[in-house]
Amino acid sequence: MPHPDAAPQEDAGVAAPPAHVAIIMDGNGRWAASRGLPRREGHRRGVEALRNVVKAAGELGVKYLTIYSFSSENWSRPAEEIEDLMGLLKRFVRNDLADLHKNDVRVKIIGERANLKPDIRALLDEAEELTKSNSSLTLVVAFNYGAQQEIARAARMLAEQVARGELAPSEIDAAKIAANLLTKEIPDPDLIIRTSGEQRLSNFLLWQAAYAEFIFVPTHWPDFGKAELEAAIDEFHKRERRFGGLNAKARA
């Protein structure tokens, strides 16, 4: 059964936008290095790109935009860079949250919060609480997120239900696992974009990406904008999504 927020069918030859676009925002450091600038400048310009892409996604009719902002593995980066990234997060929430709310954008955070500093945790909670009733676009921020950790967490939750006698092992199926993921209220992505030319998922939405279309673009994230998003969506429309079935030619 399709998710209620799944992309509508094409109407009168006009291709509907993918309901859910997910983006691995890669290349801030390389963008800065190619210009002889410090990495922090690349991250700062990356925030500007995010601001533009969120606006563009809403204009193009995308209902869900998920961005991979900080992975659970990113804590291994130098302390100075992590401090810069946390500072940018704070400024983004403080400076952009009001505009997101005004434009009817709902913010949803996925990732572990238990080990975050109280001020960061409070900012994430504030963003979700303020925008929880908005409905034009849902901006899903994967922060301190790792897909393997998410799946392991779901497995633990199901194991606990079995231990309490609430669930039989034979009842565990794909739907039960999906219902215990951090994205349980979000449709799976239709399109996953990774910038900067790298071609891997890097522990991002491993379960949810089962039938997503992947587009890898050479553009570094700070240079990614509405035109690049439109080009990726145009490429998405050229794909025939079969979800494990046959294509039209094979069925004929």
Per-residue pLDDT for the chain (252 aa), expressed as one digit of tens each? 445 455 554 444 568 899 999 999 999 999 999 999 999 999 999 999 999 999 999 999 999 999 998 888 888 888 888 888 888 888 888 889 999 999 999 999 999 988 888 999 999 999 999 999 999 999 999 999 999 999 999 999 999 999 999 999 999 999 999 999 999 999 999 999 999 999 999 999 999 999 999 999 999 999 999 999 999 999 999 988 766 665 655 555
Q: Fold for domain 20-238?
A: Undecaprenyl pyrophosphate synthetase (3.40.1180)
Question: What is the value of pTM for the model shown?
Answer: 0.88
pLDDT computed for residue 198 by the predictor = 95
For residue 12, the model assigns a pLDDT of: 47
Options 5, 52, 74, 203, the catalytic residue: 74
Would residue 125 show up in a list of annotated catalytic residues for this protein?
Answer: no
Query: Where does the chain have alpha helices with state H?
Result: 28-33, 39-60, 79-102, 118-131, 147-163, 174-178, 226-238, 248-251
Q: How far is CA 66 from CA 39, 69, 193, 250, in A?
A: 23, 9, 10, 34
Are 217 and 198 in contact by the 8 Å Cβ rule? The answer is: no
Question: Is 99 one of the catalytic residues?
Answer: no
Residues 6+ apart with CB under 8 A from 105: 54, 58, 131, 134, 136, 137, 138, 139
How far apart CA 100 and CA 105 sit, in angstroms, is 5
Any idea where the domains of the chain sit in the sequence? Answer: 20-238
Which one of the listed residues 26, 84, 188, 190 is annotated catalytic?
Answer: 26
Q: Which residues contact 166 (CB under 8 A, 6 or more apart)?
A: none
For residue 27, the model assigns a pLDDT of 94
